[in-house]
Amino acid sequence: MTREIRSWLSDMDGVLVHEGTALPGAAEFVTALRDGDRPFLVLTNNSIFTPRDLAARLRASGIDVPERAIWTSALATAQFLTDQMPGGSAYTIGEAGLTTALYEAGYTLTSSDPDFVVLGETRTYSFEAITQAIRLIQGGARFIATNPDVTGPSAEGDLPATGAVAAMISAATGRQPYFVGKPNPMMIRSALNRIDAHSETTVMVGDRMDTDVVAGIEAGLRTVLVLSGSTRRDDVDRFPFRPSEIVDSVADLVERV
């Protein structure tokens, strides 16, 4: 890496953990960041959990990430809405990660003439709630979604996720949502602001070309693709852009922190 790297952004799933198990070098990587007093954030498009929940899950896998060092698509969405319309109102489909973030940002959660319909992740999408969202959007509410991921993992296989449900709502309303999470560089920019970091001296570490790497590139960061998640080395040539560097896992980055 040519420029001095002072700050780090890292994806979570596929970089630090896989299905609740720490990946090689992950605990050492985070320890090096903390010991070196490096500003860093762990990013996730998952809007189900609060940072406290995620910190506890990471701790259980042996990775000690402070709650304040976790940045979710729910938090980025709450920040975006606060910038757009401070003290507004929203009808939400999601779980504690999203509702808590909006509540703490000063938003009123309501089904009565909200400013926004905010769609996030949930394990059990309610057809009744989706119908309510459609009618509110038809009535003039603006449509926001935390992230565009169309499926999420489970022990039994893929589950429909935010992007898939957003497509259903869009088909019914003719309205497309604004997606805040990766690959929108908005999420990266909000993370940089959170830790007062500059794009020229920050690196984004991720396991997906179509979310982590492209978001990092569009936000002006150096990017490192790790091969410990969903992307294989021979997948990279299929994309019209490239990461700054490809490594096997975050274990290869510990010495550079």
- Which entry of 11, 115, 212, 252 is annotated as an active-site residue? 11
Tokens representing 111?
């089904």
Q: What ranges make up the beta strands (E) of 155-199?
A: 159-160, 178-179
Cα distances (Å, whole numbers) of residue 124 to 48, 120, 162, 174, 239: 11, 11, 11, 24, 34
Of 185, 239, 179, 186, the closest CA to residue 208 belongs to 239
- Active site (annotated) includes residue 13: yes
Contact between 51 and 43 (Cβ < 8 Å): no
Q: Which residues contact 209 (CB under 8 A, 6 or more apart)?
A: 225, 231, 235, 236, 239, 241, 243
Q: How far is CA 73 from CA 43, 245, 250, in A?
A: 8, 25, 22
Active site residue: 13, 53, 149, 252, which one? 13
Residues 197, 158: Cα–Cα separation, whole Å: 35
Active site residue 207: no
Residue length of the chain: 257
Could you tell me how far CA 128 lies from the centroid of its own chain?
26
Catalytic machinery residues = 11, 13
